[in-house]
A and B are shown apart, each in its own frame.
Chain A
Amino acid sequence: MSQQNKVPEVEEELHLYAKRKAVYPKAVDGIFRRLKWLIMAVTLTIYYVTPWLRWDRGRYAPDQAVLVDLAHRRFFMFSIEIWPHEFYYVAGLLIMAGIGLFLLTSAVGRAWCGYACPQTVWTDLFVHVERFIDGDRNAQIKLANASWGPEKIAKRLLKHAIWLLIAVMTGGAWIFYFADAPTLLHSFVRGDAPFIAYATVGVLTATTYTFGGIMREQVCIYMCPWPRIQTAMMDEKSLAVTYKDWRGEPRSRGVKKALEDGLQTGDCIDCNQCVQVCPTGIDIREGPQIGCITCALCIDACDKVMSQIGKPRGLIDYITLLDAEEEAKGHPRMAIRKRLFRPRTLIYFTIWAAIGAAMLFSLGQRTRIDISVLKDRNPVFVTLSDGAIRNAFTVKIRNMEARPRQVEIGLLGIDSAKIWAEPGERDTAQRTVKLLVPPDSVSKTRIYAVSDAKAPAREEFSFTVRALDKEGGSDSEKVIFDRPEGQ
């Protein structure tokens, strides 16, 4: 509280909370803008259309191409069906997605943020709706400052209505991944869909509307962990949107006048186009910053200006930090190809590809039938009237094919042992039992095994299962046969 620290003339109050400065990004056209259009179209199409694709799996499994069937704990993706115990495939996919992001980031910087992140894509969509209704930047600012009248009210109502519609459709599309889409749509409209469906749509509508319409760049700047993580993954060899200050500075508005005055001028004519088109409302000329999602719209804007004043393009450009230093010194920059292939990206790629290859390999290897056996522990054995020993087992056969299958359960080891399945009789006991297992499910059978008493008290053997159709497939599980001690 010393006197020197006195706040300067302007009585500016310090706040922990800074009010958002409204951003009115200006429309721009150019190669990156077109790329963004393309990616937006592709990603949104994938998102909205995927649940409606059909895929024939026969009569015992759903015909939806991509379906996360939580109720029955199955995950369908075209010809692949994942059971809960195979969840590591999903984990593997997530790990691949993560490492893919590392790879992308170390190679081309925040490309994810700039082009493919849902936050970016939907914000972009909302911005376009806004522009369609309110007009471009200047009209938007004018409208924002205008007093409330019929026109402003009408425009605002229309805009928010369309936003809400998009939000509802976004939330709505999500639930179709979790149930048969046409059925769910019908019951959803009729009003008898499960509560969770409405709740999910409600929550996702709210988040889409809030994040895409209202919060926008604040999500990236304040909420999202990804920019922080990315900072650790980018290095001096990663591409970033850079303003080439060595070329642009000193910027000047009146170039002619400045030249007349004998002043030096750079290429930047301080037209502020790059600032006006920026969806996060920053000035890239201040250097790389966390607010920059590298959407490259400022490159498009600046390139246009440069071509108008007859200067080479790329005053703002994708460039690595190392290249920037080289170029500033007047050396030629390294070819982008060479920049992309370096140990770091290659290592990321190798890990990524190895996981993918391992998953593909194991997908090709997996059998669609398996057995697990649970031995009765109470009692562990039963002495029968003729002195033979009986053990009981609960045998679970997992038929992961979408059709009923004939299988044979057999024994490996203990030659004297014979088995029969409930409800059966000991007279019918054999070395094998045939079962018809229902499609795409786990079937539980109680199996009794009987064997001579005069043998070790604990003897290991295996139950085997073998599919009897031509696709085949088999599995086995080791268990113990118990007998009374000292016989």
Chain B
Amino acid sequence: MAEKKRIDEPTGTETVGHEWDGIEELDTPMPRWWLWTFYITIVWAIGYTVLYPAWPMLNSATAGVIGWSSRGQLDKEMKAEQDRTAPIRTAIDATPIEELSSRPELIKAAIAGGQAAFKVHCVQCHGSGAAGSKGYPNLNDDDWLWGGDIATIHYTLIHGIRQPEHDLTRFSQMPAFGRDGILQPAEIADVTAYVRTISGQQPANAASNRGSAVFAANCVACHNADGKGNRALGAPNLTDAIWLYGGDAAAITQTVTNSRYGVMPAWGARLDPTTVKMLAAYVHSLGGGEALPAATNAAAAAASTADAGNTQEVNVAAK
């Protein structure tokens, strides 16, 4: 194609010089504003790559002269968040666990913080809703192995359960009655029947009557004469509806034969004290939390919401 650039008469604009079947194209110049915008974007881009990390080098990219990095920004944001929550954490730290519940703004923050920490450290065993599963207690219910007031929960969290080499840990050991030959299989079957009877799962029969004696001879030391357990030893109440390892005959036989031995880490050694405190507040708030023994805390009594009338009265804060 021959170069036939020429000035187009009606428009006064140069053509690009090509011609297809008599059709020519005008070489209309770019609008001035457009060109300037284009140049400005180039300048902007250069400035940007100088200021911010941009050019790939052998091992890493150029750092940019203002020293910005996404990691640094994250650190800054994390720091800002820590600074924001620092005063309330300090206040929680300074408040004895027994008095936390009587400080509404603290307990609210503690529960929220505990919920967040729970999602990181506890859900692996207790589940994200704290409902537990076989062998891992449901923390929503009103049945507690070691005690359900906030101070006791706090203690359990700090020292853990059955942590060897930790003196203050919650500890007890159920004998493996069958495996260790303490009881014969027939005796185990009898005591199983007895336990199912006192928990209201089956009517009394000959086997359970025989089991009653076995129970009295072997189990009452921990589970108590009435079968209601002993929190000091973490011995569960055998008369209620909650079964950590199952309440059917097969499961109870298993338990008696081989014993059970649940463990929990001593969180006091792993997490900072404030977080442990907040975890205790959260677990206590799940619906089964018990009041502190009367002697421990007068504030708890003051916070009692029971109403003499037909209904309870509660004041709720605006959300």
Interface residues of A (CB under 8 A from B): 1, 5, 7, 376-379, 382-387, 390, 392, 396-397, 408, 420-428, 430, 432-438, 441-445, 448, 453
B283 CB → nearest A CB, Å: 14
Residues of B within 8 A of A385 (CB): 141-143, 237, 240-242
Give the nearest-CB partner of B319 in chain A: A444
Measured CB to CB, the closest approach of chain A to B46, in angstroms, equals 31
Residues of chain B with a CB closer than 8 A to A443's CB: 316-319
Question: B141: nearest residue on chain A (CB-CB)?
Answer: A382
Q: Is the interface of B mostly helix, strand, loop or mixed?
A: loop
Contacts of B311 in A (CB 8 A): 408, 430, 432-434
Interface flag for B208 (CB, 8 Å) = no
Closest chain B residue to A406 by CB distance? B313
Assuming the contacts A382-B140, A428-B306, asked whether A441 and B312 have C-beta atoms less than 8 A apart, the reply is no
Residues of B within 8 A of A441 (CB): 318-319
Excluding A7-B10, A376-B129, A425-B306, 20 further A-B contacts by CB distance (< 8 Å) are: A1-B10, A379-B127, A379-B130, A382-B141, A385-B237, A386-B241, A387-B240, A390-B141, A392-B287, A397-B316, A424-B312, A425-B291, A427-B306, A428-B305, A428-B312, A435-B313, A435-B315, A438-B316, A438-B317, A445-B316
Contact in complex: B319, A442 (CB < 8 Å)? yes
Shortest Cβ distance from B291 into A: residue: A425
Considering only CB atoms, which chain A residue lies closest to B306 in the complex?
Answer: A428
- B150 CB → nearest A CB, Å: 12
Instruction: Please report B residues at the A interface, Cβ cutoff 8 Å.
Output: 8-10, 101, 127-131, 138, 140-143, 200, 237, 240-242, 285, 287-288, 291, 303, 305-307, 310-319
Residue of A nearest to B241 (CB): A387
Give chain B residues whose Cβ lies under 8 Å from the Cβ of A378.
Answer: 127-129, 131
Q: Answer whether A434 and B312 are a contact pair too, CB < 8 Å, given A384-B142, A423-B305.
A: yes
Inter-subunit contact A430/B316 (CB<8 Å): no
Q: With A386-B240, A423-B303, A424-B305 given, is the CB distance from A379 to B140 under 8 Å?
A: yes
- Chain A residue nearest to B8 in the complex (CB): A1
Partner of A383, one of B9, B242, B317: B242
- 15 A-B residue pairs with CB within 8 Å: A382-B138, A382-B288, A384-B288, A385-B143, A420-B312, A423-B101, A428-B312, A430-B312, A432-B311, A434-B307, A434-B311, A434-B312, A434-B314, A438-B317, A443-B319
A379 to B140, CA, bound (A): 8
**How far apart sit A442 and B316, CA to CA, in the bound complex (Å)?**
10
Chain B residues within an 8 Å CB radius of A428: 305-307, 312
Nearest B residue to A426, CB-CB: B142
With A and B bound together, what is the CA distance between A279 and B306 in angstroms?
76
How distant is A420 from chain B, measured CB to nearest CB, in Å?
Answer: 6
The list of the 4 closest CB pairs from A to B, nearest first, reads: A378-B129, A379-B131, A387-B241, A385-B240
B285 CB contacts on chain A under 8 angstroms: 422
Quote the shortest CB–CB distance from A377 to chain B (angstroms): 8
Which residues on B sit within 8 Å (CB–CB) of A448?
287
Please name all residues of chain A whose beta carbon is closer than 8 Å to the beta carbon of B200 when the two chains form the complex: 387
Which of A5, A382, A426, A445 sits near B131, CB closer than 8 Å? A382
When chains A and B are docked, how far (Å) is the Cα of A279 from the Cα of B299? 78
Contacts A382-B140, A423-B305, A428-B312 given; does A390 touch B287 at CB 8 Å: yes
Measured between C-beta atoms, what is the minimum distance from B163 to chain A in Å?
Answer: 27
Q: Which residue on chain B has the smallest CB distance to residue A447?
A: B314
Question: B318 contacts A442, CB within 8 Å?
Answer: yes
A437: which of B138, B303, B313, B316 is its contact (CB, 8 Å)? B316
Q: How far is the CA of A386 from the CA of B141 in the complex (A)?
A: 10
Report B-chain residues with C-beta under 8 Å of the C-beta of A379: 127, 129-131, 138, 140
Q: Contacts of B314 on A, CB cut-off 8 Å?
A: 421-424, 433-436, 445
Q: How far is the CA of A387 from the CA of B312 in the complex (A)?
A: 24
Taking CB atoms, residues of chain B closer than 8 Å to A445 are 314, 316
